[in-house]
Amino acid sequence: MRSNYWSCTKFADWVRGTPKPASGTGDEWKSWETNAQGYNKYRYWVAETALDAIQNFINWPLDKAYSTKYYITNRWIDQSHALVAHSKHVKPGKWMDLDYRILVCLFDELVDFVEIEKAYSNFRWDAEKQKGMRWWQVGRWRTRTWRSAKAGIDHLNWEMSLTDEEWLDADMKHEAALTSQAVAAKEIYDLYVWWTETYPNRPDVYDASGWSDYCESKNERGIGFMESDPLEDPEETKKILGKNREIEAAYESEDTEMLIRLIKLRGNLWT
């Protein structure tokens, strides 16, 4: 996809004889196309078809170089053919069972989506914000090695504020509601915060249940883990292990709930 099409320039408007709108609904674009062709179909063909063909021919070497760069980036940097966990969660070369990889890979990809793709969207259409950025951070030759949690969250905050106010009549603006994009952005934000803040800070199961303290007290008395403890209370041990299983089950349930929410959000994870 090009960032600039010759068929969308002022020169093309002059050739066509009718200006092309910057944006519009599907019906508006269809109406414009019908009117532009009706004005002069030959001039419309030159502006919409011939100019693009000439641009493709002239830019062919650069397009090939860009395609090569894109392949290399997708293959070895972004690894867009795979779901990849961050090294802090799964060390390269270390085995992890699939149940854990499903959780970690999907949520680590969500982090990349926010901190890389949404972060880039925060700068992509704002020339002022792009000032001072490196050549590989913006534009045609950027790579996804650049990330910013702040920029990603800033963009989500902007999306979360979007309403349908501009589509309403003046006397109905008080009824403005959040757009579907705003609702999805809020869900993305909530899941991102859960994975980056809540999940890593959940109390350790053995600490929360009291099992760690119990084992530490045995060690202090010089009793091995498999040795019987003269002061051991079987009922207390059973209670601690039961609490341990309850916490594990609660964590597992929470993980599953969040994964389901992420899957339901799948149709909104694009930029």
- Predicted pLDDT at 229: 67
The confidence score (pLDDT) of residue 217 equals 80
Mean pLDDT of 95-123: 95
- Which of these ranges, 71-85, 150-164, 240-254, has the smallest mean pLDDT? 71-85
Confidence at residue 143, expressed as pLDDT on a 0 to 100 scale: 67
CA–CA separation, 88 vs 104, rounded Å?
10
Give yes or no for residue 182 having a pLDDT over 60.
Answer: yes
Give pLDDT tens digits for 48-89: 999 999 999 999 998 898 888 878 888 888 888 999 999 999
Residue-wise burial string across 140-175, b where 16 or more C-beta atoms lie within 10 A, e elsewhere:
eebebebebeebbbbbbeebbebeeeeeeeeeeeee
Predicted TM-score (pTM) above 0.75: yes
Q: What is the DSSP letter of 203?
A: P
Q: Helix crossing, 234-264 with 211-220: angle to 10°?
A: 140
44: nearest Cα among 19, 23, 21, 24: 19
In this structure, what token pair is assigned to residue 63? Answer: 């397009």
Contact 41, 91 (CB under 8 A): no
Quote the CA–CA distance of 58 and 202 in Å, as a whole number: 57
How many contiguous H segments (helices) and E segments (strands) does the chain have?
13, 0
Q: How far apart are CA 160 and CA 187, in angstroms?
A: 9
DSSP per-residue codes, 15-40 = HHSSPPPS---HHHHHHHHHHHHHH-
Look at phi and psi of residue 254 and say left if phi exceeds 0, alpha if psi is from -120 to 50, else beta. Answer: alpha
φ, ψ of residue 163 in degrees (nearest 5): -130, 170
Model confidence pLDDT, tens digit, residues 32-44: 999 999 999 999 9
Which has more pLDDT, 169 or 182? Answer: 182
What is the gyration radius of the CA atoms in the chain, in angstroms?
Answer: 28
Mapping DSSP onto H, E and C, the string for 230-248 reads: CCCCHHHHHHHHHHHHHHH
Residues 118-123: what's their mean pLDDT? 89
Average of per-residue pLDDT values in the chain = 88
Q: Output 134 or 242, whichever has higher pLDDT.
A: 242
The pLDDT confidence band at residue 129, using thresholds 50, 70 and 90, is confident
pLDDT in tens, 207-244: 999 988 988 887 777 776 556 665 567 888 899 999 99
pLDDT attached to residue 198: 98
